[in-house]
A and B are shown apart, each in its own frame.
Chain A
Amino acid sequence: AQKITQTQPGMFVQEKEAVTLDCTYDTSDQSYGLFWYKQPSSGEMIFLIYQGSYDEQNATEGRYSLNFQKARKSANLVISASQLGDSAMYFCAMREGNQGGKLIFGQGTELSVKP
């Protein structure tokens, strides 16, 4: 069965520094997608970045990059130049098989950015 693991319940980072949020996954499928979402205290789920299992390049979106290591089954999120507004819960998620199929989420990491 597919599984997503986030081992860091909480993280602190100094403003303007970079931070890495860990995510490992388990699947027997060859085709899958990996996602990161941000959830601020308001509760909305904000899509950050996507990596397909066949994508050879690591995905990047502005200050977000996904460090995709397929052999190790890890998909860590790197946030560069942290801002106070980055304080939130962060969820890693995986979709097996076809686009638009069910997402399985990790436990989440609460990131706090200190001024």
Chain B
Amino acid sequence: DVKVTQSSRYLVKRTGEKVFLECVQDMDHENMFWYRQDPGLGLRLIYFSYDVKMKEKGDIPEGYSVSREKKERFSLILESASTNQTSMYLCASSVGQSYGYTFGSGTRLTVV
């Protein structure tokens, strides 16, 4: 069964900490995406990547960075966590020849 795996289901971090959210897919997908989900706002795109070492800003990149050193792994980095980054974070992947997208189960991050 194909999968997108997010390393943590729940995470609690302190303000100012550097936070890494990891996402790994086992489908050899070229494209990977990071979203954050907030009530009433839906899913908003933070960053995405169409290839290894490639990254593009989404709609809300401020306060975030990403790393894609290997095809299967796409990391979201909060350089200095703030309380307004408390949210559900979802990773997804896709392949160019198909309309299918696979989502991870999400990481609920709380910044205190």
How many residues on B have C-beta within 8 angstroms of the other chain's C-beta atoms? 29
* Residues in B lying within 8 Å of A, measured CB to CB: 29-31, 33, 35, 40-45, 48, 50, 58-59, 88, 90, 92, 94-101, 103, 105-106
A31 to B92 Cα, complex, angstroms: 22
* Chain B CB within 10 Å, residue with most, of A35, A43, A50, A105: A43
Closest partner residue, chain B, to A107 (CB atom): B42
Q: How many A-B residue pairs have CB under 8 A?
A: 63
Cβ-defined partner of B100 (8 Å) among A44, A47, A52, A104: A47
Given contacts A43-B88, A43-B106, A98-B96, contact A103 B41 (CB under 8 A): no
- Chain B residues whose C-beta falls within 8 Å of the C-beta of A107 in the assembled complex: 40-42
* Residues in A lying within 8 Å of B, measured CB to CB: 4, 6, 9, 33, 35, 43-45, 47, 50, 52, 91, 93, 95, 98-108
Is the Cβ of A104 less than 8 Å from the Cβ of B99? no
